[in-house]
Amino acid sequence: MSRPGGRRVMALAGATIPAVLAALLPAPPASSASPASSAGTVHAAERGAASANAGEKIIGYFAEWGVYQRNYHVKNIETSGSGGKLTHINYAFGNVQGGKCTIGDAYAATDKAYTADQSVDGVADTWDQPLRGNFNQLRKLKKLHPGLKVIWSFGGWTWSGGFGQAAQNPAAFAESCHNLVEDPRWADVFDGIDIDWEYPNACGLTCDSSGPDALKNLMSALRSRFGSGDLVTAAITADASAGGKMDAADYAGAAQYVDWYMPMTYDYFGAWAAQGPTAPHSPLTSYPGIPQAGFNSAETIAKLKSKGIPASKLLLGIGFYGRGWTGVTQTEPGGTATGAAPGTYEAGIEDYKVLKDRCPATGTVAGTAYAKCGGQWWSYDTPSTIGGKMDYARNQGLAGAFFWELSGDTGNGELVTAIRNGLG
């Protein structure tokens, strides 16, 4: 079964390692302490002073577990040149357990000690400092780029199962999230909260039956608790098919409470359909022979707009990876296959930085690229196709673009650069 708009699995980044899983599985809340009373005021002032112009937002996900097998750290955001091009970083993911927001991997987030050569500013962590890990590195990155905002994202494909319980008491959930995001130990690191519920009143890794109003009620409670001084955002389905996931929840009603939505306009097609047909996982438009109507970015954006959601609250999603099949003989899309192509961390998926050299693009379809090398067939976005997608985003009046996720880019950040150049 295809999983449009958000099959973002922790296994992508090596979370299948037992030690990492042990660290990730049930993590308690970091604290229930109230934030400093001035935090909301400070955030409001920062947002007013340094928010990105409409249409120029570039939001990149940083995967918490990438510090393990992927060996991707906050410092890489800076050394790649991406730190100065991003407007926001979404830190992924916090968990949702027992109706509350909880830390995903406390070791990676707050405890991991960085040596001088691994640290953003070249200063080593000490044994007794109150905050280490990714959070402290993000604090250092923000000092280098005062306009950069960091948002803590909760849920994702793997951890969305907890939202059903959270939706039973939205106010209590919102209170727990506020206490965690605005914990005094790292309140200065975060500028808001992102909800990545896959999917309200529909099926993702598990199926949710919270009802069509659950998302609206949840986002309303979060906005009420976080106030106007913090960002409240959501990554949402890109399934624009008739009667699909987008019709299962009141995305229009919830939109009034969010600063923006990030429809996950990637993962429309992939090798979970093991025999094919081969199809680009992130088509900008439809094309003759597309396997499923409504599974493309333009129709996603059009449907959200038709529900009354303003373009200024929508971003276009870009995948920094490809999806591929093996056992393919046909160069163009629509070929048969025998299964998923091998990938570094998971079959059927590979980083752009690997594919650009290992399986260079041989053609384009529907505004994205594809490649056939040997018996493998891959689709992914390149700097050129990203340029076209950014033209579309500007012409549609969208708020900008976001992507999953930073470690898939090259060492010199060529995909982030393409987004930045494309948005102007």
- Asked if 93 and 104 touch (Cβ cutoff 8 Å), the reply is yes
Neighbours of 195 (CB within 10 A): 27
Distance (Å, rounded) from C-alpha 5 to C-alpha 66?
A: 21
Question: For residue 53, what pLDDT is reported?
Answer: 59
Question: DSSP character for 366?
Answer: T
Alpha helices in 214-257 (DSSP H): 214-226, 251-255
- Asked if 315 and 321 touch (Cβ cutoff 8 Å), the reply is no
Question: DSSP character for 108?
Answer: I
Integer Rg of the chain from CA: 20
Segments of the chain scoring below 70 in pLDDT? 1-54
332 among known catalytic residues: no
CA 100 to chain centre: 20
Which residues touch 378 (CB under 8 Å, ≥6 apart)?
322, 323, 324, 341, 350, 355, 359, 370, 371, 372
- Asked if 245 and 267 touch (Cβ cutoff 8 Å), the reply is no
Strand 231-236 to 192-196 pairing: parallel
Distance (Å, rounded) from C-alpha 2 to C-alpha 282?
A: 12
Question: For residue 125, what pLDDT is reported?
Answer: 98
Q: What top-level class would CATH report for the domain 10-319+383-423?
A: alpha beta
Question: Burial, 81: exposed, middle or buried (Cβ in 10 Å; 0-12, 13-18, 19+)?
Answer: middle
- Asked if 62 and 90 touch (Cβ cutoff 8 Å), the reply is yes
Distance (Å, rounded) from C-alpha 372 to C-alpha 298?
A: 25
Total residues found in the chain within this entry: 424
Question: For residue 24, what pLDDT is reported?
Answer: 32
Give me the helix-helix angle, 383-396 and 414-423, nearest 10°.
30
Distance (Å, rounded) from C-alpha 136 to C-alpha 114?
A: 10
| 239 closest CA partner among 4, 1, 2 | 4
- Asked if 278 and 290 touch (Cβ cutoff 8 Å), the reply is no
CA 341, 342, 345, 350 torsion: positive or negative? negative
Question: For residue 55, what pLDDT is reported?
Answer: 86
Question: For residue 52, what pLDDT is reported?
Answer: 52
The residue annotated as part of the active site, out of 64, 198, 299, 405, is 198
How far lies 5's CA from each of 48, 268, 349, in Å?
31, 6, 15
